[in-house]
Structure 1
Amino acid sequence: MKHGHDLGGIIAFAHREEEWAARLAAVVDEHFLPALEEFDLDFDDLTEIFGEDLPWTLWGCAFEDFLSRRWEPDGPTVVDVYLKRRGWSEKVLNRAYIEGLRDAHVSLHEVSDVVPGQSMALRDLLTGGEPVTVREKSATRSLKQWDRIVARVVPVRGSVAQIS
Structure 2
Amino acid sequence: MPWLGFVPDEVCAAPPVAVARLADQLGVDSAVLRSCGGRAKTRTEHLRLAARYLGWRLPTALESKELDEFLLARAMEHDSPTLLFRLACEYLISAKVIRPGPVTVVERVAHARAEAQRETYDRLAHEFTDERCAALDKLLVVDPEVKMTRLRWLSSCGGCRLARWRRPRPR
- TM class, shorter-length: under 0.3
Structure with the largest fraction of helix: 2
TM-score (normalised: structure 1)? 0.20
Structure with the largest fraction of strand: 1
CA radius of gyration, larger in: 2
TM-score (normalised: structure 2)? 0.19
